[in-house]
Amino acid sequence: MPASPSTPAAEIKRANIRYHDAAAAEYDSKWGIDFGPIGREQVRAKVAKALGGWPARRFPEALEIGSGTGYFSLNLLQLGLIGRLVATDISPGMLGELAATAKRLGLDLETAATDAERLPFQDQSFDLVFGHAVLHHLPALPAALAEFRRVLRPGGTLAFCGEPSRYGNLLATVPKRGAQLVAPLWRLLLGASARRADPAEHEDGHELEREVDVHAFAPRTLDEMLREAGFANVRIRGEELLANVYGWTVRTLEGTAEPEDVPHRWRKLAFRSYLALQRVDAALLEPRLPPSLFYNLVLSAIRT
């Protein structure tokens, strides 16, 4: 459930910093973030979907918004799509994880802890502004879009992926509730015990999970916002329908068990099945159904 529309912007931002700082160390394992061939392929497919194909030329200077632990930026660097990269996030904890992973992978980049709505960069200094799963956290989205336009060179590209759609968000409540109902039986079959309450989770920011999300988007509203902010060639597509229902079922089931009781073989099988359903969505459903039906929206636009 997103934050109430009356929650002040400063409060939402403080919640985002606290929540993501607390989540940073476990973030990659919680969300299955990968920096090897699987992660690279996922990111390549999402960016190609957003841009309408994989670009023939690299972007010399790129800025990521809400980089988190580096899922998009580090994989895009490895794929060679960007030259110089500046990775930004409002959470210093997430950027710390990103910098450590970049060092382990031997990747060169700059980081800056900053709010997306106030970017400490000169006008027209980037060829690409991009991000994954971040726009829905920004309380004043028009102000953030104005900043993205300001720092982009004319003709520069905006690309965001993994933004929740309004219907997709509603649809996700079905597997979440269904999985809660069958969870005791699932744990019995796997021999897993129910997750014990962790008192630390209510002190270190995890309890803010419901307060950090602000928007779920209707494609048409997003399209209008982008045009009003001075972008052209707006392209919005949907992704993940079956994979979304399955993914939330698995994540909810696993969340009810003690993590070490969930067998590695189950996790591996669940992840492979998820990837297979992503492929079914991409091949059969995404080209045929309207973007609003999917869980995630991917978008791109050109700075006028």
Ligand X SMILES: C[S@@+](CC[C@H](N)C(=O)[O-])C[C@H]1O[C@@H](n2cnc3c(N)ncnc32)[C@H](O)[C@@H]1O
The residue among 212 and 253 lying less far from ligand X, judged by its C-beta, is 212
Contacting positions for ligand X (CB under 6 A): 13, 16, 20, 65-68, 71-72, 89-91, 94, 115-116, 131-134, 137-138
Residues 181, 183: Cα–Cα separation, whole Å: 6
The residue among 168 and 183 lying less far from ligand X, judged by its C-beta, is 168
Tokens of 30: 């919680």
The residue among 112 and 218 lying less far from ligand X, judged by its C-beta, is 112
The residue among 63 and 236 lying less far from ligand X, judged by its C-beta, is 63
- Nearest approach, Cβ of 72 to ligand X (angstroms)? 6
Q: Cβ neighbours of residue 98 under 8 Å, at least 6 residues apart?
A: 67, 68, 69, 70, 73, 74, 87, 89, 111
Cα-to-chain-centroid distance, residue 303: 22
Residues 162, 3: Cα–Cα separation, whole Å: 19
- Nearest approach, Cβ of 48 to ligand X (angstroms)? 17
92-117 per-residue burial string, b: 16 or more CB within 10 A, e: under 16: ebbbbbbbebbeeeebebebeebbbb
Residues 223, 231: Cα–Cα separation, whole Å: 9
- Nearest approach, Cβ of 246 to ligand X (angstroms)? 19
Query: By C-alpha distance, which of 234, 228, 236, 267 is closest to 250?
Result: 267
Residues 127, 111: Cα–Cα separation, whole Å: 17
The residue among 141 and 192 lying less far from ligand X, judged by its C-beta, is 141
- Nearest approach, Cβ of 131 to ligand X (angstroms)? 6
Pairing type for strands 231-239 and 82-89 reads unpaired
- Nearest approach, Cβ of 51 to ligand X (angstroms)? 17
DSSP code per residue over 24-70: HHHHHHHHT---SHHHHHHHHHHHHHHHTS--SS-EEEEEESS-TTS
- Nearest approach, Cβ of 150 to ligand X (angstroms)? 15
Using Cβ positions, the residue closest to ligand X within the complex turns out to be: 68
The residue among 134 and 179 lying less far from ligand X, judged by its C-beta, is 134
Task: Name the 3-class secondary structure at 258.
Answer: coil
- Nearest approach, Cβ of 132 to ligand X (angstroms)? 4
The residue among 209 and 261 lying less far from ligand X, judged by its C-beta, is 209
Residues 260, 253: Cα–Cα separation, whole Å: 14
